[in-house]
Structure 1
Amino acid sequence: MTTKLALTDLANGQANYLNANASFAQLNQLVQAAVLDKDLATPPGSPADEALYIVAASPTGAWSGHAKDLAYWLSSVGTWTFVTPREGMLVHVNDEDAFYKYDGSAWAIFTGGGMANPMTTAGDVIVGGSSGTPQRLAKGTDGQVLKVVSGAIAWAAESGGGGGMTNPMTTEGDLIVGGASGTPTRLAKGADNQILKVVSGALTWAAESGGGGAVSSVNGQTGAVLLAEQNLLINGNFAINQRGYVSATNTTAANQYTLDRWRVVTSGQNLAFSASGLGNQITAPAGGVEQVVEGNNIQGGVYTLSWTGTATATVNGTSISNGGQTSSLTAGSNVTIRFSGGTVSLAKFEKGSVATPFEARPYSLELQLCQRYCVVYTLGSGQGFAIGTSPDTSSAYSWILLPTTMRTSSAAVTVASGLNFYDPTARSGTRAGQLQTPFLLQISLTGSSGLTAGRSGYFAWPSGGAITIDAEI
């Protein structure tokens, strides 16, 4: 008997034709086997010749004891023949139009070695279930999209253009760019002829520079203007400290200036600062630290305030969010920017409705901008401050050209005590300073004695000192 199909071996002898016929009949059934039904437990009453069945569980009658066997009817014999299935046998079940394979213990639908089809309805989708098991996902309703919801594939309503993203755009021409941690952020359209470019690591609208780096139009301002020059806040990175203010030192008067251009509003409070990048990060007190932007820099219209840090801010006493816009400001009027109760660095106030990246100006330029409002000359012991002359025997004078034109010639000039005039003998007297013009400082020593008219000399502090010229608003 053969091992695969259990066919009877033939031996020499005339009677072998019976074995041969039985084998042919069995081959006829098992090769390209076509089973009529696999769910019958009772043999049909009038089976067709060569009809083949899989005997269902708990068979009766002539099929009794042959559950799972293949049973075929031969009219020439007039009885049922049974074939015990072997593992791996494959048959086609006609009434189901499906192939079944015997796995050694039971008949199971055969899918060609791939996954079973879980779909039952038009529009179904197959998704991976537990451990990757194929699983049916019924189609969604009109307008829904396939997306991940709570970690699982599901049909759900489209939102914000797809992907669950909230739409931050509010105005025609807006763009969506990635903000902090990729959060969708609105970028308002730029001015005519601007291009989208990366400035200090961030996308912004700026004029095409032709490779030279000069910006011709930002927030409506034209000309060869750097982004840094759009910032109306002077010392916005808190780097300039001409007065030598010591961090966290309590002030002794209201609106006392500390770091250049920044004043602490409330007496007894202080401004703390620490190095950050090319400047400092400050911690604004509860009462606030503020800067007054001179009115001759205000063209009127909408302006934008931006900064890095946790402080809150106001413009002319009105709260403003980081990157937010003011109402229309009056041209030519001073504007007060105040930060309160938190950290601040990289502060920027610019015309227009777009917050552009902070660009640090060269230190020398920033210092010169500060010196329109305050100039401090500090010298050590015995260092000559200025060349002067004596017009008579009791006084001496010197004139110093300032590094820039100050805001007003009415600036307050403070001369530290101990300033002498040397000719070369040290001469003391009443020290004073005043601006002759916004760019010319006069230093005088009067009430002295022993001077020689027409003799030159120099001013100096034997133990060090300073002259402060204050033209703050």
Structure 2
Amino acid sequence: MSHRSTIAHLLFSLGLNGAAAISFRNRLVNGNFFINQRGASNAPTVYPPGAFIRDRWKAGPAGCTAACVTAANGDTTMHIGKGTVRQDVEGALYLLEGGRYCLSWQGDAIGRIVVSDTTPVFESGQVVASDIPAGTNAIVEFSCRSGGPPVSLRLAQLEPGSTPTVFERRDDEAIRCGRYFRRIAKPPLRGVVCTVDMAARCGMPLSPTMAVVPKVSLVEHLPVFDGASISMATTILTDYSTSESIELDFALSSELTVGRPAIFFAGQGGILDVEAEVVF
């Protein structure tokens, strides 16, 4: 038996085929809905349009009602009671081949692939979209039937070709999510005290690079040390951030010494949200 035949026989015995063995098949990020950096509730919740239920998965234009149940292995089932749940797929990064793509999932939700100005109907089971131009942005969207009962959704996968394969599991899903959103606890920023009540140009690199220039929000005040005294960064005054780094001016809760470094202790508290979600 040839080496190639041996590999094919092994894949067949495992219930796989050649396509299933190829990595980077799934062009959706967080397809098992496990990553939840924003800490959205598992309980039934009404989400306004654009609100995120899980990383990369947000409520559609009319909002949605959704709940989540996570299994011991991290796979999460999303229950959709009303509205739609969608993911914007970056064509320049995830749909470079163009051509035919297949959307598959588990559960009784209905789904569709939206490209450009098309408005395809929702379908049950797998959905095949043909002739997606290379590099074109797309939207994957799931829903329940109008007036019908809540539906379940899990293990969503968008892949090249017309035939779905087994769900692809990756160890870098959190990194992929970090291109679009990052909640940074205890960020190790460094800057300078430029006036007694302001820490200027407080920065740190971002890796991986964000999808676009991010919007940075202060979720929890940050402790700042100038070598002698500690203050708290309470407000972002100016945001100079790029897709590759955070750089911020902060208002301080108490006076520090001008000209001294503004050191943000890693491990001493504070939270920043860095958001660079793409919208199509």
Task: Tell me whether the two structures share a fold, i.e. TM-score over 0.5.
Answer: yes
**1:293 is matched with which residue: 71, 79, 89?**
89
State how far apart, in whole Å, the 2-side matches of 1:447 and 1:457 are: 11
CA distance in 1, matches of 2:248, 2:12: 47
Q: Distance in 2 between matches of 1:367 and 1:328?
A: 30
The alpha-carbon deviation at position 228 of structure 1 amounts to 4.2
> Does the CA contact (< 8 Å) of 1:289 and 1:340 recur in 2?
yes
Q: Is the 8 A contact 1:390 1:456 kept in 2?
A: yes
For residue 347 of structure 1, what is the aligned residue in structure 2?
156
Corresponding residue number in structure 1 for 2:205: 401
Q: Are the equivalent residues in 2 in contact too, given 1:292–1:337 (CA < 8 A)?
A: yes
Q: 2:36 aligns with which of 233, 241, 258?
A: 241
Structure 1 residue 395, shift from structure 2 partner: 2.1
The 3 A distance-change label for structure 1 pair 416 and 324 is closer
Cα distance in 2 for partners of 1:196, 1:338 equals 36
2:205, 2:76 → 1: CA distance? 30
Residue 227 to residue 347, structure 1, CA distance change in 2 (3 Å): farther
Who is 1:202 aligned against? 15
1:416 corresponds to which residue? 219
**Deviations 1:60-117 (Å, cap 9, x if unpaired)?**
xxxxxxxxxxxxxxxxxxxxxxxxxxxxxxxxxxxxxxxxxxxxxxxxxxxxxxxxxx
Partner residue of 2:67? Answer: 272
Give the CA deviation at 1:275. 1.6
Q: Secondary structure at the residue paired with 1:368?
A: helix
Aligned letter for 1:330?
P
Cα–Cα, structure 1 residues 433 and 405, in superposed 2: closer, same or farther, change >3 Å? farther
TM-score scaled by structure 1?
0.49
Displacement of 1:445 in angstroms is 1.1
Which one of 265, 272, 277 corresponds to residue 467 of structure 1? 272
Q: 1:447 to 1:359 in 2, by over 3 A?
A: closer
Q: 1:417/1:203 Cα in 2 relative to 1: closer, same or farther (>3 Å)?
A: closer
Per-residue deviation, residues 223-270 of structure 1 (Å, max 9, x unmatched): xxx634110000001111111111135345312112100001256633
Cα separation, 1, equivalents of 2:12 and 2:180? 30
* 1:437 maps to amino acid: T
Aligned twin of 2:80: 284
Gaps of 5+ in 2: 1-6, 145-150
Q: Distance in 1 between matches of 2:264 and 2:159?
A: 43
**1:334 matched to 2:137:** yes
Q: Which has the larger radius of gyration?
A: 1
Whole-Å separation in 2 of the counterparts to 1:421 and 1:445: 10
Superposition RMSD in Å: 3.0
SS at match of 1:430: strand
Give yes or no for the alignment of 1:253 onto 2:48: yes
One-letter amino acid matched to 1:407: A
In 2, the alpha carbon distance for the partners of 1:375 and 1:348 equals 23
What does residue 450 of structure 1 align with?
A: 255
Identical pairs, percent = 29
Deviation at 1:311, TM superposition (A): 0.7
Residue 203 of structure 2 aligns with an amino acid whose one-letter code is W
State the Cα deviation string for residues 344-398 of structure 1 (Å, max 9, x = none).
1111100111211112101xx100000111111135xxxx753432234342132
User: After the TM superposition, which residues 372-387 of structure 1 pair with which residues of structure 2 at under 5 Å, given as runs?
Assistant: 372-379=179-186, 385-387=188-190
Taking structure 2 as the reference length, what is the TM-score of the superposition? 0.79
1:82-97 aligned at under 5 Å gives the runs none
Q: In the alignment, is the contact (CA less than 8 A) between 1:240 and 1:260 conserved in 2?
A: yes
Q: What does 1:10-25 correspond to in 2, within 5 Å?
A: none
1:302 shift after superposition:
0.7
**Structure 1 unaligned residues grouped into runs of 5+:** 1-193, 207-217, 220-225
The structure richer in strand per residue is: 2
Find the counterpart in structure 2 of residue 366 from structure 1: 173
Contact 2:192 2:261 in 1 (8 A): yes
**Deviation string for 1:173-212 (max 9, x for gaps)?**
xxxxxxxxxxxxxxxxxxxxx94653794242x1xxxxxx
